[in-house]
Structure formats: C-alpha cells, structure tokens
Amino acid sequence: MSITDELREWVRDGKGSLLAIADRIDAEHESACAEAYGNGVESVALPDMTAYVKLPVDADGVPIRVGDVMEWPTTYETFEVVGIGDGTLFYIEDGSEQADWTGASTKRHHHAPTVEDVLREFAYGLGVPVADSYVAATAAKLRLAGDAE
C-alpha cells in the first residue's frame, strides 16, 4: 500500500491519524534522499525551487561534487571543481578570472600519494617491474624506519 493510498483511505473512512501519515511521508522522503545522495544525486537550490541533479562521475564511477579536488589523467596535476554540468566539470586556472570546463569521465579524485604509490612510481621510472607484495613489504620497512627516528 502506498502512502497516497493510505491518505485516500483515511479521507474516505475518516479513520487513522493524519499526523502518522505525515510522519511516514517525511521518513520515506528522508530515506529516499539519503539513498539518492549515495547514488550521486544532489539537491541544488534554485531561485524558485529545489532541483535534484544527477552528479557527473569520475573515471572510477565516483560522484563528483563542487569542492572536490580532481586530477588530470596524464599530468596528475590537480584542480578544484567550482561547478558541475551534465558530464562536465568547471574549474578556474590560477591567475584566471574565468571558469573553464572539462569532461568528468576521464578525471579521478585526487588522493595524497601513499608510500606504496611513491615506490611504484620510483620503480616505474627505473623501468623495473615490481610485484605488489614487494611494494607492500618495502613500504612496511620504510614506515618502521620512520618510527625509529
């Protein structure tokens, strides 16, 4: 039975509590909003109403929001998202007063590099293939050496 069916029944029969129905509507709305937010839908306040928009996603399928820091796929340089559109990100280059845009699907969220990331990049620069198990073991040793200081 839907909420509107309950409401119609209450009006027809004059039974039940309108407040209970209102509480249930609020609870279902809150749950639906939380689920939508987790799936990359965000509420955007507009001058005359509130709209819900599907957020663009990065190369990993993670929703992108205004304020997120993203990476360029080839240079790994970062930029802050100042606006979003349908599959589009807006950003402002240093020293510029005008926003520029780029497609969202090839960018990734920026994460500070880990010890493992630095080791892999170092090995790649030397042209040496390394196994993940070796990277993990070396990273653990480096962390222990850092704790001894």
pLDDT tens digit sequence for 103-122: 999 999 998 888 888 888 88
Write phi, then psi, for 90 (nearest 5 degrees).
-115, 140
The DSSP code for 129 is: -
| pLDDT of 82 over the 90 cut | yes
Q: Is the pLDDT of residue 27 over 90?
A: no
102 by Cβ neighbours in 10 Å (0-12 / 13-18 / 19+) ranks as middle
Residues 99-103, mean pLDDT to the nearest whole number: 92
What's the confidence (pLDDT) of residue 95? 83
Q: Which residue has the tokens 């969202």?
A: 104
Output the average pLDDT for the chain: 82
Helix ranges, 2-149 (H): 3-13, 18-38, 115-126, 132-148
pTM here? 0.53
- Do 110 and 79 touch, CB atoms closer than 8 A? no
